[in-house]
Amino acid sequence: MYLDDGQCRMVSDFRSWLESAVSDLLQGADFNRYDRGDDSILITRWPAEAHFWYEVSIRPFLPQVRIGIMTDDRFRSEDFERLITDSGDTMQEFVEEAFGSVGLYWSAPPVEHYCEDGLRYYFSTPMDLKCVDQLSDKSCRDKAFKVFRGYDRAFFQMSR
């Protein structure tokens, strides 16, 4: 798939806006970028604590924004699984409740939990877009920020 110059700017503007909003939320936390050379996946990570990161992945060619958390510690991933189990909710219900607590009412949001390359463990929610142009919509930006806040609420604030 090909993105024209205007669409590339939309992706860049969305990413810059979300990185700034999240860094402000996290009180100036630094972030790192981990992008594929072909720009098919643009990843930004913020450290939350040792072996635990927030992650936003923009996949402009799908188009999709994936937001969640990542750990490189299998035991930390198991701690998160136990947190969900102990809540009595399914993973989907657990995340949906956290979304609701930050003002995002998304019934049965998709929640993916997987291990990549045996090294990184993820909990994330994909936001599928009809077209990459949606990244410039205020409603898309608001939803992405609330998804981020929901993951912060579910996995960081509740686990303390």
Q: What is the pTM of this model?
A: 0.95
Residue 160: pLDDT over 70: no
- In this prediction, residue 156 carries a pLDDT of 83
Q: What is the pLDDT of residues 43-61, one digit of tens each?
A: 999 999 899 999 999 999 9
Domain ranges of the chain: 5-157
Q: What is the 3-state secondary structure (H, E, C) of the chain?
A: CCCCHHHHHHHHHHHHHHHHHHHHHCCCCCCEEEECCCCCCEEEEEEEECCEEEEEEEECCCCEEEEEEEECCHHHHHHHHHHHHHHCCCHHHHHHHHHHHCCCCCCCCCCEEEEECCCEEEEEEEEECCCHHHHHCHHHHHHHHHHHHHHHHHHHHCCC
Residue 100: pLDDT over 50: yes
Q: What's the fold here for domain 5-157?
A: Yope Regulator; Chain: A, (3.30.1460)
- In this prediction, residue 157 carries a pLDDT of 72
Mean residue pLDDT across the chain: 95
Percent of the chain with pLDDT strictly greater than 70: 98
Q: What is the pLDDT of residues 11-40, one digit of tens each?
A: 999 999 999 999 999 999 999 999 999 999
